[in-house]
Amino acid sequence: MAEKPRKAVVVGVGALEGLGGGLARRFAQGGHHVLVAGRTQARIDAVVDAIRQSGGAATAVVTDAANEQDVQALMDLAMRDDEDGAPADLVAFNAGNNAPMRFLEIGSDTFEAFWRMNCFGGFLVGREAAKRMSPLGRGTILFTGASGSLRGSAGFAHFAASKAGLRMVAQSMAREFGSQGLHIAHIIIDGGIDGERLRTHFAEFMASKGADGVLNINAIAEAYWQIHLQHPSAWTHELDLRPFKEAF
């Protein structure tokens, strides 16, 4: 009997041409049955359909990453040994939100909402994945970071605080679970992503960047996949990705 494919989970999938969708497609291409998790049924269904049309396997799971019960149910599903595949060995947290905002105009509820999505959601996903993977002694948990993970820019205090917090969650997890066989990595996306959001709402910005001036989704997804494949004697914990034109 052929060995079952393992499952993979991508949390924070939105547009088909978004990073979450790109990660789901790449993990499916690598032979995983992908649980495509996001808040909007129609969007995650579109990603699942694209994966299946390409010969891959995927299941849509409506999930709010900041809801503890949603995340627990998702991870229970991911770790089942069932007809869809063996328990997951790969989880990517890609949920997040960003918008510029003057510091004095940031309401307390807005600040908390950004923290819940960008940081607390990552904590929940990381905790529930590690809880189920650590007894097995293997697994990869990946977190999508941003320029704001490293520095706060004017107008982005709410975003930077939440992404820096996520980075610390990833670091602490790596130090606690690395010796137990869990590979925890934080990937800093330093630049615009060539996806639906920029193409639709920031076409002028895209044009100003020129060829390869923003990050290609498939190239980002390949970097995530290669981290998953790394030998345990040479693991990456943090990787920064940016276009060759991007100042840093």
Q: Is residue 247 part of a domain?
A: no
The pLDDT of residue 248: 86
Long-range own/partner contacts, residues 86-89 (CB < 8 A, 24 or more apart): 86/3, 86/4, 86/5, 86/6, 86/7, 87/6, 87/7, 87/132, 87/136, 88/6, 88/7, 88/8, 88/9, 88/35, 88/129, 88/133, 88/139, 89/6, 89/7, 89/8, 89/133, 89/138, 89/139, 89/140
Which CATH number characterizes residue 64's domain?
3.40.50.720
The per-residue pLDDT for 173 is 98
Mean pLDDT of the chain: 95
Q: Residue 201's pLDDT is what?
A: 72
The ranges of the chain with pLDDT < 70 are 1-2
pTM above the 0.75 mark? Answer: yes
What is the per-residue pLDDT for 23? Answer: 98
pLDDT of residue 205: 75
Q: 1 lies in a domain?
A: no
Give the tens place of pLDDT for each residue, 124-182: 999 999 999 999 999 999 999 999 999 999 999 999 999 999 999 999 999 999 999 99
- Tell me if 142 is assigned to some domain: yes
Structure confidence at residue 1 (pLDDT): 53
Q: Is 33 within the bounds of a domain?
A: yes
The residue range of the domain holding 77 is 6-241
The total domain count for the chain is 1
248 inside domain: no
